[in-house]
Structure 1
Amino acid sequence: MMKKLFGVCTALVTALASGQAWAGGQTEAERGLAVFQEWCVSCHGIGPGHPGTQALDHRYQGALAGALEQRTDLSPEIVKAFVRNGISVMPFFRKTEISDAELDALGAYLARNDQR
């Protein structure tokens, strides 16, 4: 019985340390994709009709991608700062809207391409 309990505890610690959720086996970045799709894609999705992406395309003039999912310079910290504080016409999001855990996942998702 103790060996079985130890095995379950070890599996839980290993899953948490590797960034996987106990339920569903999703990585933090995969959970972040769900957060992005729920809260961000309407403004920051890829393609025409996304005002945030269009504004960033205009601002960066090809120096950086306007679509956040295509960026290679986003860190979790910068994502958190923009989400919690807003910028320009982008509103801020409260913890009651996007929890800290969801924001961590979103940061992991958007930073997955970080090449700095």
Structure 2
Amino acid sequence: MPTIPHLLLAATGLALATLASALPAQGSPPAPDEAARGKAVFRRHCAACHGRGPGDDGSPHLPGTAALAARYQGSLPGALEERADLDTETILYFVRHGSGPMPMFRKTEVSDADVGAIAAYLATSAASRQK
């Protein structure tokens, strides 16, 4: 009979395998339909804070974009759509844990596959801006 640690290990392995199958492979270009879906998910859940500005209050950036721009002081763009350094695992961490005023999102709000699609969109968006 399996022990609880063995069951937890098996469940963790299954969860990681499921996540890996839902995310695009690193180094491979994202599928156009995945990037398009990611753009829709980004607009629905992320753009209100992390999109390109201006904000409703007349500020040049939206709150998340402004906070990241202040944090990076020009070394990285504040707008996530201009960042080429964000991989799926990084985005997934911040989506699940939040950061400062950014709330965490449950899998029922933003699925792991949605996060993979967001990563595909951001990679495509950043690449198109670098041309």
Normalising by structure 1, report the TM-score. Answer: 0.71
| Alignment correspondent of 2:49 | 43
Superposition pairs for residues 1-116 of structure 1, below 5 Å? Answer: 27-49=33-55, 50-112=62-124, 113=126
1:44 maps to amino acid = H
1:32 and 1:40 mapped to 2: Cα distance? 11
**Separation in structure 2 between the aligned mates of residue 100 and residue 73 of structure 1, nearest angstrom:** 19
Could you tell me which amino acid in structure 2 is paired with residue 75 of structure 1?
A: D
Please state how far the C-alpha of 1:57 moved relative to its aligned partner: 0.8
Q: How many corresponding residue pairs? A: 93
Note if contact 2:30-2:120 (Cα within 8 Å) is conserved in structure 1.
no
Structure 1 residue ranges without an equivalent (≥5): 1-17, 21-25
- How far apart, in 1, do the equivalents of 2:46 and 2:76 lie? 18
Please provide the CA RMSD for this pair.
2.1
Task: Classify 1:64/1:27 alpha carbon distance in 2 versus 1 (closer, same or farther; 3 Å).
Answer: same
Q: CA offsets per residue over residues 42-76 of structure 1, 9 Å max, x none?
A: 00110232100010111111110000001121111
| TM-score calculated relative to the size of structure 2 | 0.64
